[in-house]
Amino acid sequence: MDLFFKRPSKKAREAMCNAALKMRHQKGGRYGEIAAAKESVSGITGHEYVKTVNSGNSAILGVMSSFKGKILIPDQGGWTGFKMMADFLGLERVEVKTDRGIIETDLLRDTIEKKSPEAFFLTSFAGYTAEQPVKDIHQICEDSGVIMVEDASGSVGDSTGRLANGDHAHVMVASTGSPKVVNVGNGGFISTDDKKILDNSRIILKTLKADPITCAGISEEIKIAPPVLSQTIAACQFLKSGLKGYETVLHPEKRGTNICISLDNPKKAGYKLRKSFNVHGGGMITVCPRYDRILADAVCIEIKNLDLRCLNQSNLEEMLLIINETLKST
Ligand SMILES: Cc1ncc(COP(=O)(O)O)c(C=O)c1O
C-alpha cells in the first residue's frame, strides 16, 4: 500500500506559478489575486468581510488582538495557538470542560455565566475527531453576548452547512497551510460580518497579510474543498464503522477527519502504526495526550493528512486490517 501526504493540487501550484511570473508592483498592494481570494473565501463562508493572512496562527492572533476581556477555550480538542496567542497578548484565558473534546451546551452556558468571557475560540472538530454542535454553541454565545470564533481549518467547504458556515459563527479563522482542507502550504484567512473586529486589528493585520502567490493558491484550493472534505470524512466513517467492536474508538458516531483510539501504550502503538503505514512525504500518526487532540492516552490516525487518491477502497480495507492487528497486539 502506497500512501502519500497531501500536497497542493496541480491547479493550485500552476496558479501560484502564474502569479509569481506576472508579479510586479501594484499601487497600494492592490493585487488581483488578493481580491479574488477574498471573494472566494466570502463565497464559501458566507461572511461579508475577509482578510487573507500568512498563516492560521496569524489569523488567530489578528482576531484575538481585537479583544480585551477573557478568552474562553475548550479544555481539550482545541488548537494550541488559542493558548499561545492569548498568553502572548496577555489576555486571561478560561476553559470550559468538555466530554472528551465535545462541548456540552449546559456546561457552556454555566461557564459563560460564571466567567463572563468576551470571546469563545473553538475548532469545528474536537481534535479533528468529532464535529462540535456548532449551531447550538453559536446560539448560546449569541444569547450571552460572547463572540464565537470558529477555527474552521479542518472544515472549510462542509456541504452539510453544519460547520464553517458564516450563519453559525461570528468570526471564522482558518489555516490554509499543510496539510489542511484548503491545502496551499501557506496562509490563512479571517472572515466575519462584524467589520469592527477587522478594524480593531487593522495595524497588526497589516503585518500579517498574505502575499498574492498564496492568495492565487487559496482561490484554486477553495474550489475543491467540498469534495476533499466529504471524501476524507467518508473514509473516516468507513474506518470507524469497521472498528465498531472497539469501545476505545473515540466518538465513533460523529463526523471527523481522523480516528482517535484510546489505549494503554500509545507510544508503542504509534510506533507500530507509523512503521506499517509508511506515508511518503509526511506522517499520519499523532500520539496523545495532546491539547489539540485529546488529553488521554491515545493514538490518532490522521486520514486528513493523506492525498485523496490514497483513500480508495482497497487502501482503506488494508488500513483497517493494520489498525485491527495493531489494536489486538498492543
Ligand atoms: C486547527 C488549527 N488551527 C490553526 C493552525 C495553525 O495554522 P498555521 O500552521 O497555518 O499557523 C493549525 C495548524 O496545524 C490547526 O490545526
- Would the CB of 214 count as within 6 Å of ligand 1? no
Q: How many domains in the chain?
A: 2
| 314 burial type by CB count under 10 A (0-12 exposed, 13-18 middle, 19+ buried) | exposed
pTM over 0.85: yes
By percentage, how much of the chain surpasses pLDDT 90?
Answer: 91
Do you know the residue count of the chain? 330
Within this chain, do residues 26 and 51 fall inside the same structural domain, yes or no?
A: yes
Q: How far is the CA of 330 from the centre of ligand 1 (A)?
A: 31
Question: Which CATH number covers residue 286?
Answer: 3.90.1150.10
Looking at 179, 208, 223, the residue that finishes a domain is 223
Rounded distance from Cα 326 to ligand 1 centre (Å): 29
Same domain, 62 and 129: yes
Q: What are 301's three cell numbers?
A: 490516525
Same domain, 87 and 136: yes
Instruction: Examine the domain organization and report whether 152 and 10 are in the same domain.
Output: yes
Same domain, 26 and 167: yes
> Do residue 234 and residue 219 come from a single domain?
no
* Sign of the torsion angle spanned by Cα atoms 23, 27, 28, 32: negative
Residues 59, 19 share a domain: yes
Helices 134-144 and 105-115: crossing angle in degrees, nearest 10, is: 30
pLDDT value at position 192? 98
How buried is residue 207: exposed, middle or buried, by Cβ count under 10 Å (0-12/13-18/19+)? exposed
Residue 202 and residue 85 in one domain: yes
Phi, psi for residue 103 in degrees, rounded to 5: -70, 130
> Last residue of some domain: 163, 196, 223?
223
Mean pLDDT of 144-155: 98
Closest listed residue to residue 149, CA positions, set 205, 221, 215, 198: 198
CATH assignment at residue 60: 3.40.640.10
Q: Which of 196, 223, 250 is the last residue of a domain?
A: 223
Residue-wise burial string across 188-204, b where 16 or more C-beta atoms lie within 10 A, e elsewhere? bbbbbeeeebbebbeeb
Q: Are residues 161 and 21 in the same domain?
A: yes
Distance 55 CA to ligand 1 centre (A): 7
Expressed as residue numbers, the domain containing 292 is 225-329
Per-residue pLDDT for 27 more than 90? no
Name the band, by pLDDT with cuts 50, 70 and 90, for residue 28: confident
Q: Residue 81: CB within 6 Å of ligand 1?
A: yes
Do 214 and 296 lie in one domain? The reply is: no
